[in-house]
């Protein structure tokens, strides 16, 4: 039975023939009386009937169906907090395999047995925060060594960027310089982007799969124009590719398209596993071109879970990557 609206917004009043539901249940406070697990389940279950049907969600860039075998793997790993590498070494190894597979899919310049640099995240928003922080810190180090001010960083992106980029700029005090879109061009124009670059630009963001249209921005042209600008000015303005939507599409449908680490100024890439990686939310990935692109000072080495382990994330307790790995090998 669906929950009925109450004149008292402070309670919910499910209608069931049950002694646990004779009295209204507080909406924002802990109930005074306990109830059975079956009754609690029924209340929550029926409340969620008011949500939309995930299978009808065609507009929010998220995977809503997985094979039964993947769902089984998820259930088997629900109780694992895989950030505890010492306790769950096999799960951690699976994460590393995913990082290396994705890095090579994106043409990272790695030797045959060289380990890629990257990490899993809860989604592309966290991945973008980490990549942006790494680029900001590298820029600060460079400016500090040159004896120049390093308190006014900026970044360049199209006005079509996802809101997580605006959050990054605001939370981490980076000026966001946006390239305005125009009729007939609904992605960032690389030529206009380069005009906004100066010595304080920590990165230029190129989107592989715009949130609004799905269109790929011209990363190759942006790379060429920035190379010319860097050579002329002596700067080293890098590119981050936001491939949240397109990262698991372009390598398979457009393998000849050069947008990834084949371009020398592409220093980091994020991609969402829960979009076209075909995994339930939330898993994302951030991959760096090489170890040199991730400042060591951003990596924490902890030992209170057992063995000493390096970590560079905004979240700590996390779920599993096994379902993503299942898709990568299946």
Q: Which helix (H) or strand (E) holds 101?
A: helix 89-105
Please determine, for residue 96, whether its predicted confidence score (pLDDT) is greater than 60: yes
Grade residue 327 by pLDDT with cuts at 50, 70 and 90. Answer: low
**Structure confidence at residue 308 (pLDDT):** 72
Please determine, for residue 3, whether its predicted confidence score (pLDDT) is greater than 80: no
pLDDT tens profile 242-275: 999 999 999 999 999 999 999 999 999 999 988 8
**Structure confidence at residue 25 (pLDDT):** 81
- Cross-strand pairs, 25: 12
**Structure confidence at residue 120 (pLDDT):** 92
Q: Computed from CA positions of residues 122, 188, 182, 198, in that sequence, does the dihedral angle turn out positive or negative?
A: positive
CB atoms within 10 A of CB 270: 28
Comparing 80-84, 199-203, 283-287, the range with the smallest average pLDDT is: 80-84
CA distance 315 to 121: 8
**Structure confidence at residue 190 (pLDDT):** 98
CA distance 309 to 34: 42
Q: What is the largest CA-CA distance in the chain?
A: 78
- Higher pLDDT: 204 or 81? It is 204
Angle at which helix 89-105 crosses helix 322-329, to 10 degrees, equals 50
**Structure confidence at residue 8 (pLDDT):** 55
Grade residue 1 by pLDDT with cuts at 50, 70 and 90. Answer: very low
- Cross-strand pairs, 119: 286
> What contacts 191, CB < 8 A, 6 or more positions away?
225
What average pLDDT does this structure show over 279-306?
A: 87
CA distance 250 to 243: 9
Comparing 89-103, 214-228, 242-256, the range with the smallest average pLDDT is: 89-103
Tokens (6 digits) for 304: 């209170």
Q: Which CATH number does 72-329 carry? A: 3.40.640.10
Name which of 238, 181, 233, 252 is nearest 206 in CA terms: 238
| Domain-wise residue ranges, the chain | 11-51, 72-329
- Higher pLDDT: 81 or 40? It is 40
Pick the most confident of 37-51, 60-74, 81-95, 156-170. 156-170
Q: Quick check: 198 and 153 in contact, CB under 8 A?
A: no
Alpha-carbon dihedral angle through residues 270, 243, 223, 289, given to the nearest 10 degrees: 30
**Structure confidence at residue 197 (pLDDT):** 99
Grade residue 316 by pLDDT with cuts at 50, 70 and 90. Answer: low
Please determine, for residue 239, whether its predicted confidence score (pLDDT) is greater than 50: yes
Q: What angle do CA 220, 222, 223 make, to 5 degrees?
A: 65
**Structure confidence at residue 179 (pLDDT):** 98
Name which of 296, 269, 209 is nearest 245 in CA terms: 209
**Structure confidence at residue 114 (pLDDT):** 96
Name which of 284, 270, 286 is nearest 117 in CA terms: 286
Pairing of strands 11-12, 117-121: unpaired
Grade residue 86 by pLDDT with cuts at 50, 70 and 90. Answer: confident
> What contacts 190, CB < 8 A, 6 or more positions away?
217, 218, 221, 222, 225
Pairing of strands 25-26, 284-288: unpaired
């Amino acid at each position: 039975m669906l929950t009925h609206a109450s004149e008292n917004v402070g309670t919910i009043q499910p209608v069931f023939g049950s002694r646990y539901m004779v009295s209204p249940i507080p909406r924002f406070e802990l109930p005074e009386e306990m109830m059975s697990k079956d009754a609690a389940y029924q209340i929550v279950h029926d409340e969620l009937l008011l949500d939309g049907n995930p299978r009808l969600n065609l507009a929010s860039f998220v995977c809503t169906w997985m094979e039964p075998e993947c769902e089984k793997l998820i259930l088997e790993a629900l109780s694992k907090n895989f950030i505890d590498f010492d306790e769950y070494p096999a799960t951690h190894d699976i994460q590393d395999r995913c990082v290396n597979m994705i890095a090579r899919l994106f043409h990272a310049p790695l030797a045959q047995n060289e380990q890629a640099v990257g990490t899993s995240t809860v989604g592309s928003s966290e991945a973008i925060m980490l990549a942006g922080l790494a680029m900001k810190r590298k820029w600060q180090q460079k400016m500090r060594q040159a004896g120049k001010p390093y308190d006014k960083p900026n970044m360049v992106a199209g006005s079509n960027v996802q809101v997580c980029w605006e959050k990054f700029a605001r939370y981490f005090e980076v000026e966001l310089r946006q390239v305005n879109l125009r009729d007939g061009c609904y992605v960032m124009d690389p030529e206009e982007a380069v005009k906004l670059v100066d010595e304080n630009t920590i990165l230029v963001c190129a989107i592989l799969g715009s949130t609004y249209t799905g269109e790929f921005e011209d990363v190759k042209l942006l790379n060429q124009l920035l190379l010319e600008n860097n050579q002329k000015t002596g700067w080293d303005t890098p590119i981050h590719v936001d491939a949240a939507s397109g990262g698991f599409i372009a390598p398979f449908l457009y393998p000849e398209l050069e947008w990834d680490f084949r371009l020398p100024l592409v220093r980091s890439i994020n991609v969402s596993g829960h979009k076209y990686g075909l995994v339930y939310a939330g898993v994302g990935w951030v991959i760096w071109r090489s170890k040199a692109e991730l400042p060591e000072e951003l990596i924490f080495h902890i030992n209170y879970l057992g063995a000493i382990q390096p970590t560079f994330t905004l979240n700590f307790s996390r779920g599993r990557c096994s379902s993503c790995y299942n898709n990568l090998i299946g």
